[in-house]
A and B are shown apart, each in its own frame.
Chain A
Amino acid sequence: MTRLTLSKALNEGLRKALENDPKVLIMGEDVGKLGGVFRVTDGLQKDFGEARVVDTPLAESGIVGTAIGLALRGYRPVCEIQFDGFVFPAFDQITTQLAKMRYRSRGQLSLPVVIRIPCGGGIGAVEHHSESPEALFTHTPGLRVVACGDPADAYAMIQLSVISDDPVIFFEPKRRYWDRAEVDTSGGLAAALPLDRARVVVSGTDATVLCYGPMVKTCAAAAAAAEQEGRSLEVIDLRSLSPLDTDTIFESVRRTGRCVVAHEAPVTGGLGAEIAARITEECFYQLEAPVLRVGAFSTPYPPSKLEEHYLPDLDRVLDAVDRTFGY
């Protein structure tokens, strides 16, 4: 076991992936000598060469489009999109090509491409550097969409994503990049929780809080605060946003009868809406209250001086939990 930041854990995971399979490539803007603007690929070009860790031209559609071509030729590209708000030039390639090639080819073609996207706010950045566009991708059949929440999970999840035969959109919570935790880098992936499974972070009995990415830490802290007030929250890190691990979700909600879904993305049309609908359909008779959602307002991401109001925090999570007890 070793204490690593989330950024370093991803770096170690990518290193393992590059070592394990010569077909694995890393490509993106500034991923080489600089090691990425968040240093996730630090040192990898030095150790694996410029043919495997590629500083690409500044063109996101090109990054994903050529990754698709490389995948068709048998490679496993891991693309880095520098910031969430810059993924959109590649949106066409992702939604019309990457997501649909297996279906179009009647299963004959696989595109094992990973697209890493630093996401979310809280770092005082300018426009387009703090967004949470996951719902745009979970709405696109054919993509696996995952979000890591802590270093140990990040280390395993990035490797599981690389070996996935489906394209994976991999969200990394940028305000958690420098959080440290114990990571076991010695073993293989055999003991790792599968990529499509959710994980109970805090066990509890009174209400279920569903979250992912940057909100996992917030919700775990909310559970600790609630415990002081004698309320037992179960916090589940969804990890996989598409497909959803509904078994784990439903089991918990049936037990607690109350559920809050928290994400940084706007509530309107967000992933929380899909989850709330599924829970309502499957757990209706066990619910003591409607599933409540905590997230951003239905506005663009504001200037950073206002982001503490825009981002759901511990208080807003607890406020929603309180409200579920008002029914």
Chain B
Amino acid sequence: MTVKDAGRAASADSFRGGPPPESAEFIQLLTPEGERVEHPDYPLDISAEQVRALYRDLVLVRRIDFEAIALQRQGELGIWASLLGQEAAQVGSGQALEPNDMAFPTYREHGVAWCRGLDPVKLLELFRGVSHGGWDPREYNFHLYTIVIGSQTLHATGYAMGIQRDGAVGEDGEAVIAYFGDGATSQGDVNEAFIWASVTNAPVVFFCQNNQWAISEPLERQSRVPLYRRAQGFGFPGVRVDGNDVLACLAVTRKAMQAAREGQGPTLIEAFTYRMGAHTTTDDPTRYRLAAELETWKLKDPIERVKAYLVRTESADEKFFTALEAEAAELGTRIRKACQEMPDPSPLSIFDNVYAGPNALLESERDEYAAYLETFEEAVR
């Protein structure tokens, strides 16, 4: 063994069994205490009005989440996947998108949906069991929620390959953002998406919200390296951002999307955040994680720091906060009412939209079932 080889072996050994990924180094523009800090690579020129708008998004998105959890508890929704704690990652990245950009969400991107102009009531349809996702993705440039873990990263990549073929790459071009979580990075589909995006230099940004938990499994079960570093092995840049810092998420996503639009290819963004609630309303996180961990993260709350900044810099007054509170309450009331009044779909709609055109088998099944249902109505009469 040469000296050089020995050195390589030693470094490989020291890597194996090494410590789990350390927390912490990331791009941050607003500290948990609400202090504005600068980063040389991510200058952000943002007005007080724009910060107030982001704050409004954060507050309203949290309100939607709060209301949906309550609706589930009251039996109005079958299940809900809470985004509590991830508001900044979603609003920051969501507001970094241009109208023509396309977003591919998981099932937790309620904040991004909000930024794309989708009525939250539409999201409730899915969780109430009224539809599988009834909005038109083209209307909002926001794809349907994807529940199978990681599948949408390939769809995003393929969509970006279409943008290339359409000649829509360039300064005023279009780009795609794919949302997924830390757990999804283990899936073959996600790794294949990285490969496709890399070799095709597709205009796609991979936005990973590392919320530290895949249901009950901590990040150490998915990775021995910080997730953003995976990008290097696939051949494109990776960057880690404070996922609880809406300004940093905005700046980092904006830059990556612009690079994609201009033909510089993909970026992996790891938004380092925390799932403050359960995986879904059917999950019980007390079985697998300590309450102290949540307390630590509460100090890094994505909303509180923006409020602290607005107050400290006198960028918002009491009137603003009071009005926003009223707006949030009104939004909560509206979606609650809309959810409770949502009609059940008609039984025969089961047979709709399976194929592009008429299908003889489905038509006969529909007729038979309609006749069968009739027999019950006759019995009732």
Q: Which residue of B lies closest to A305 (CB)?
A: B129
Tell me the bound Cα distance from A30 to B350 in angstroms.
33
Interface status of B19 (Cβ within 8 A of chain A): no
Interface string of B201-218 (1 = CB under 8 A from A): 000000000000011110
Interface status of A72 (Cβ within 8 A of chain B): no
Q: Which residue of A lies closest to B373 (CB)?
A: A309
Residues of A within 8 A of B (CB): 29-30, 32-35, 37, 55-59, 61-62, 85-86, 88-89, 124-129, 268, 297-300, 302-307, 309-310, 316, 319
Q: Which residue of B lies closest to A86 (CB)?
A: B148
Tell me the bound Cα distance from A302 to B128 in angstroms.
12
* A125 & B79 in contact (Cβ 8 Å cutoff): yes
A97 to chain B, nearest CB (A): 14
Tell me the bound Cα distance from A88 to B130 in angstroms.
25
Which chain A residues border B183 with CB–CB below 8 Å?
57-58
Interface status of B47 (Cβ within 8 A of chain A): no
* A319 & B372 in contact (Cβ 8 Å cutoff): yes
What is the total of A-B residue contacts with beta carbons within 8 Å? 112
* B131 & A268 in contact (Cβ 8 Å cutoff): no
Partner of A33, one of B132, B147, B216, B361: B216
Tell me the bound Cα distance from A53 to B43 in angstroms.
48
What would 26 A/B residue contacts be, using CB atoms closer than 8 Å?
Answer: A29-B214, A34-B215, A34-B287, A37-B282, A55-B216, A55-B217, A57-B221, A58-B214, A58-B222, A59-B187, A61-B188, A85-B147, A89-B189, A124-B79, A126-B79, A126-B129, A297-B350, A297-B351, A297-B362, A298-B354, A303-B130, A303-B132, A304-B129, A305-B129, A305-B130, A306-B347
* B127 & A126 in contact (Cβ 8 Å cutoff): yes
* A310 & B221 in contact (Cβ 8 Å cutoff): no
Tell me the bound Cα distance from A259 to B251 in angstroms.
66
Which chain B residues border A128 with CB–CB below 8 Å?
147-148
B359 to chain A, nearest CB (A): 8
Given contacts A58-B149, A126-B147, contact A302 B287 (CB under 8 A): no
* B288 & A34 in contact (Cβ 8 Å cutoff): yes
Tell me the bound Cα distance from A59 to B79 in angstroms.
23
Extra 7 A-B pairs, beta carbons < 8 Å, given A57-B222, A298-B365: A34-B215, A34-B288, A86-B149, A126-B127, A126-B132, A128-B147, A319-B372
Interface status of B232 (Cβ within 8 A of chain A): no
* B215 & A37 in contact (Cβ 8 Å cutoff): yes
Tell me the bound Cα distance from A47 to B216 in angstroms.
18
Tell me the bound Cα distance from A307 to B344 in angstroms.
11
Interface status of B126 (Cβ within 8 A of chain A): yes
Q: Which residue of B lies closest to A32 (CB)?
A: B216
Q: Which residue of B lies closest to A308 (CB)?
A: B347
